[in-house]
Amino acid sequence: MMEKFELPQFAGESCCPNIGEVLSSVITYIDRQQQSGSRELPLTGVSTGFPEIDRLTLGLQAGELVVIAGRPGSGRYALALKVVEHIAGTLGQPVVFHSLTNTAEEVGLRLLSSTSGVDSYRMRTGQLDESEWQKISTGLATMHSAPLAIESNPRGDFESCIERTRQHTKHFGRPPGLIVVDDFHAFRFAAPPPTLDEARQVALCSLRQLAGELAAPLLILSQLDARIDRRPDLNPCLIDLPRSGCIEAKADTILLLSRDYEFEDDQTKGTPRRYGIRIHEAKSRFDYWGQCRITLSEDALPTSLFWGACSA
């Protein structure tokens, strides 16, 4: 005979259904958005500075893990720097940038090149004219006092990344507008679980928890698998992400980048060249997937990548 089932007794207030309260809050939110009266799409997160991307994502959402992935030369690093420039330099919101692949000085040079519009190759060689020095001065005025912390982490110390982010947030005295990690697969782990794949899964969970704890969007830069270069269809998809770490399962938003060669070939001769990037939103918590195209100026990119665009 089946024994009578009894629930254990818990201290505290009794539970009751709360779906009515939840739905009431949802309707209030929808009504507030409708009554705002703005014809522009209202953002629920931090603007990237690119209206095309903001229309897809509604901004970078606090507490979410966002992935920007692409093959080398796709422009993901240049795009990330433009987003950092907008959030820290234009919006004045704190940004913490973790570089696992470059020194802080290298990131600073690329950022200054992007902000000023002066080619980074000419900056490296010192071959600058008076007008370019004026542009650099303007870029310095924009970014010198911006709330931006650049952390160089060549050892790929994961625990250091977590701790330094908390320290910078405490110093800023407010939640970051953005946290950036370049690149996730360069992390090394002092005491990993049995496999590197499991260690990366744990790391992704920790990064999501950090984003939630600090109420900030956390942006990861990642490469795509080389097999995409060997197939006729060069449009990236989720299976092109690195398989280690189940990054596609842990992320809230995934933006996959590819070069827009048709746009680059169709440009009018004699006009300043632009670099075309196609962006495919492969995953979204809003149940909305779409595509867009953005363009970056020649000066926003390393000279070697732009030469590749011209010769492609």
| Per-residue pLDDT reduced to its tens digit, 6-53 | 655 555 556 666 888 888 888 887 787 677 655 566 788 999 999 999
Tell me whether residue 22 is in a domain: no
- Output phi, psi for 77, to 5 deg: -70, -45
CB crowding 205-237: b at 16 or more within 10 Å, else e = eebbebbeebebbbbbbbbbeeebeeeeeeebe
Quote the domain boundaries for residue 133.
62-311
pLDDT at residue number 13: 58
Task: Look at residue 268 and tell me whether its pLDDT is greater than 70.
Answer: no
Share of the chain above pLDDT 70, in %: 82
Q: How confident is the model over 206-217, as pLDDT tens digits?
A: 999 999 999 999
Residue 171 scores a pLDDT above 70: yes
Q: Which residues contact 19 (CB under 8 A, 6 or more apart)?
A: none
pTM score, whole prediction: 0.83
Share of the chain above pLDDT 90, in %: 43
C-beta neighbour count of 44 within 10 angstroms:
14
Which pLDDT belongs to residue 300? 59
Let me know if residue 220 belongs to a domain: yes
Edge-first strand listing for the sheet containing 178-182: 148-152, 95-99, 178-182, 218-223, 65-70, 253-259, 274-283, 291-297
- Rounded to a whole number of angstroms, the CA Rg of the chain reads 22
What mean pLDDT value characterizes the chain?
A: 84
Q: Is residue 191 part of a domain?
A: yes
Of the given ranges (81-90, 101-110, 238-247), which has the lowest mean pLDDT? 238-247
Looking up residue 273, the CATH number of its domain turns out to be: 3.40.50.300
- Looking at the structure of the chain, the number of domains it has is 1
Q: What is the pLDDT of residue 215?
A: 96
Instruction: Kindly tell me if the per-residue pLDDT of 261 is higher than 80.
Output: no
Per-residue pLDDT at 192 exceeds 70: no
Q: Which of 35-39, 92-96, 152-156, 258-262 has the lowest mean pLDDT?
A: 35-39
Rounded Cα gap, residues 46 and 87, in angstroms = 8
* Residue 38 located in a structural domain: no
Sign, CA torsion 231/232/234/240: negative
